[in-house]
Amino acid sequence: MRYFGTMNNNNGILEIGGVSVKKLAQKYKTPLYIIDQQLVEDNILSYKNNFKSNSFETEIVYASKAFLSKGICQLLNKYDLSMDAVSAGELYTIHASNFPMNKVHMHGNNKSIEELKMCVDYNIGSVILDNVDEINNLSNICEEENKTMDVMLRLNIGIDAHTHEYIKTSKHSSKFGESIFDDKIFDVIKEISNNKNLNLLGFHCHIGSQIFDTKAFLEGIEVMIKFLKKASETLNIKIPQINLGGGFGVYYTKEDTEINIKNFMQEMIKHIEETSIKENVVLEKVTIEPGRSIIGNAGSTLYSVGYTKETFSGLKYVFIDGGMSDNIRPALYQAKYEAVVANKLNEPLTETATIAGKCCESGDLIIKNCNLAKTNYNDLILVSTTGAYGYSMSNNYNKLVRPAVVFVKDSKSQLSIKRETFETLIENDIPLDTI
Ligand SMILES: *Cc1c(COP(=O)(O)O)cnc(C)c1O
């Protein structure tokens, strides 16, 4: 397993943030999500220090859906980052953390009236409109409340990038945004810019997630700037901003060649500057929305080993006290991870075993054929890079309680989200009056 951030081998026991994971297991029990706060802060600073330009303002928006707690909101605010949200629940959580709502931007392809109202009532930074139908709903709410709202329009730019390759789609079938290849796009833009309750800041795109092919982003920049130019000329309006979305790929296993944030942010900035000069476009502000690349490597999940089993076919299993309830990504889309026996770092990796969860699904496997030190009952297994889309996709399948989330830094640990209890597990469950 690759070590990230402050991970350190102290006499065979893994420490993160200067805290032994053995101590964390004793104090908070397992399974446990551990966030390396220093690494989150370092990632934030890599973005802040390198995604900046002398020609235009920049904004870095953390994509909340990767991982959201009051603690992460506080940390982002400390470094003056912005946040996005895609639901009332995310907006509510961010608001409850006292995060400045004028730095929150609302996404979503099907925002309800309730959600749009919440955006207006909270005075959030901007709403990223996804489709034509939404324009009237938001405008009506603004009209009723006598407010104007800054908006962007999400575009489908025909670049669909995931992991190693990107595809320039000819079908353009994504559910997000309005297509730039459809001539009606100019009517949509006109409708927004003519609406007195809405202030059109610019265009948004997000071409995918866990992208390694940096060319896809560079091409996205060109498409966005050229389209912005075409739209401003066609409609004779000023459109000052673009938002390029997130999706910067991180390391999970040796198969991944992650994007180096520092280098690539500088490259992106250069490409935006050069393209806007070439196209003679004046940009006032450029925004990006990293999620996974801020929190992914900074999070790990700590489990206790239970039983082990060797099947008749010879496959060896190590069972852990969590599984697809706290990390559904392997079952959902064959995501791969690395792991160590965190209390036996100095022992040779003599065992090849499949790490399986305790849920009632054969697909509840976290890592297939993982090289590990020989495990015994109650050993600790740490799976790395579970910070993004781990807790946020967790569930109560088999009525497992969601684990706690703890932040570690400078030899101290702080609880960020409590472990669920049996009481909270059934608090919304009401017996029927009549049967
Ligand atoms: C998910 C998402 C992001 C963040 O993606 P990452 O892969 O986590 O960086 C950014 N913008 C939008 C619109 C998204 O849907």
- 85 and 214 in a single domain? The answer is yes
How do residues 119-176 score in pLDDT, each as one tens digit?
999 999 999 999 999 999 999 999 999 999 999 999 999 988 876 667 665 457 778 8
CB distance 246 to ligand 1 below 6 Å: yes
CATH number for 409: 2.40.37.10
Which atom of ligand 1 is nearest to 291's Cα? 8
Residue 410 has pLDDT above 60, yes or no: yes
Task: Give me 212's structure tokens.
Answer: 């390694």
User: How many angstroms does the Cα of residue 244 sit away from the middle of ligand 1?
Assistant: 10
Choose one of 293, 327, 351: the last residue of a domain: 293
Rounded CA-CA distance 166/160 in Å is: 6
Residue 105 lies in a domain: yes
**79 and 177 inside one domain:** yes
Q: Is 71 in the pocket of ligand 1 (CB under 6 A)?
A: no
CA proximity to 154, closest of 182, 179, 185, 130:
130
The answer to whether residues 341 and 384 touch, using CB atoms and an 8 Å cutoff, is: no
Specify if 432 maps to a domain: no
Identify whether residues 273 and 382 lie together within a single domain.
Answer: no
Task: Say whether both 65 and 175 belong to one domain.
Answer: yes
* pLDDT confidence bin for 254, thresholds 50/70/90: very high
Give pLDDT, residue 171. 55
Of all protein residues, the one whose alpha carbon is nearest to atom 3 of ligand 1 is 246
Q: Is the pLDDT of residue 73 over 50?
A: yes
Is residue 331 domain-shared with residue 402, that is, in the same domain?
yes
The DSSP output letter for 66 is: G
> How large is the average pLDDT for residues 107-118?
97
411 vs 170, residue with greater confidence: 411
Res 80 pLDDT > 60: yes
Ligand 1 atom 1: the closest Cα is on which residue? 63
Answer whether residue 128 is part of any domain: yes
Task: Give yes or no for residue 60 CB within 6 A of ligand 1.
Answer: no
Q: Using one digit for the tens of pLDDT, what is the confidence trace for 192-242?
A: 999 999 999 999 999 999 999 999 999 999 999 999 999 999 999 999 999
The mean per-residue pLDDT over the stretch 84-111 comes to 98
Is 359 one of the annotated active-site residues of the chain? no
- Does one domain contain both 213 and 325? no
In this predicted structure, what is the pLDDT of residue 169?
54
280 and 319 belong to one structural domain: no
Instruction: Provide the CATH number for the domain around residue 223.
Output: 3.20.20.10
Residue at 219 is within a domain: yes
The answer to whether position 55 is within a domain reads yes
How far is residue 201's CA from residue 133's CA, in Å, rounded to a whole number? Answer: 19
Residue 73: inside a domain = yes
- Give, to the nearest 10 degrees, the angle between helix 132-145 and helix 113-121: 50
16 part of a folded domain: yes
If asked whether residues 101 and 57 sit together in one domain, one would say: yes
**Average pLDDT of 364-380?**
98
Task: Name the domain boundary from 293, 321, 350.
Answer: 293
Q: How confident is the model at residue 12 (pLDDT cuts 50, 70, 90)?
A: very high
Identify whether residues 214 and 276 lie together within a single domain: yes
For residue 168, the model assigns a pLDDT of 65
Burial of residue 377 (number of CB atoms within 10 Å: 0-12, 13-18, 19+): exposed
**For residue 431, is it within any domain?**
no
- The parent domain of residue 85 ranges over 37-293
> Is residue 24 within 8 Å of residue 244, measured between CB atoms?
no
Summarize pLDDT for 324-370 with one digit per residue, the tens: 999 999 999 999 999 999 999 999 999 999 999 999 999 999 999 99
**Cβ within 8 Å of residue 225, ≥6 positions away:** 242, 272, 275, 276, 279, 281, 283
Residue 167 confidence (pLDDT): 65
Whether 420 shows a pLDDT value over 80: the answer reads yes
Tell me how many domains the chain contains: 2
CA dihedral sign, ordered 254, 256, 262, 266: positive
pLDDT of res. 173? 75
107 C-beta closer than 6 A to ligand 1: yes
Asked whether residue 157 falls in the same domain as residue 218, the answer is: yes
Average pLDDT, the chain: 96
The answer on 405 and 388 residing in a single domain is: yes
What pLDDT score was predicted for residue 170? 46
The predicted-structure confidence for 34-55, as pLDDT tens digits, reads as follows 999 999 999 999 999 999 999 9
What pLDDT, on the 0 to 100 scale, is given for residue 175? 83
Question: Which of 234, 267, 293 is where one domain is finished?
Answer: 293
Q: Are residues 289 and 329 in the same domain?
A: no
